[in-house]
Chain A
């Protein structure tokens, strides 16, 4: 079974600085999708970024980018120019036959 590991339960960063959240996964599949979702206290899961495993180019969305290392089964999220509104839980997710989530990283952006 696929597993997703987020090794950082909590992270903090100063406003305007850069932070990287780690994610590793375990699978024997070659075709899959990876996601980062943000969950603020309102509970609504919001898509941050998506990566198709067959694409070598790392996905980027404005201040958010990923470092996808397929051989290492690693999918880290980099947040540049952190903003107070980025404070939330961040979940890494793996999708093949179903969607598996990591346990999350609580990110706090400090003013």
Chain B
């Protein structure tokens, strides 16, 4: 596709459930980023992949959050034992190479934990 895509666009789940959010970056982009955007706030960095490996995961809030990018393209953000405070828009971005390059964002997944 021409841009970054994210699925699903909306996800409603119950407290305690497990969710997976998917990001499909721009073809050929080696760097991929996940952000969380709470209502009325700017995006907050979660994790950055360079190829298949997590180059920086310092933004993950706790061990319930995990992300993978096994083939260096599609990435999945996984949240275990969801809590109401996890409700937010989860944004994915990709860039051609690494830090310093312009990041191109997907439309986000809005997660609502009831």
Contact = CB atoms under 8 A, between A and B. Distances in A.
- A and B assemble together: yes
Interface of A: 4, 33, 35, 37, 42-47, 50, 91, 93, 95-104
A101 B107 contact: no
Interface stretch (B12-20, B37-45, B61-69, B72-80): B37-45
Contacts of B104: 47
Q: How many interface residues does chain B have, given as a range?
A: 20 to 34
B108 interface: yes
A91 B105 contact: no
A95 B100 contact: yes
Dominant SS at the A interface?
Answer: strand
Interface of B: 33, 35, 40-45, 48, 56, 58-59, 89, 91, 93, 99-100, 102-108, 110
A34 B43 CA distance: 15
A4 B35 CA distance: 16
A99 B33 contact: yes
B80 to A, nearest CB: 24
Contact of A101 (B42, B100, B102): B42
Contacts of B102: 35, 47, 50
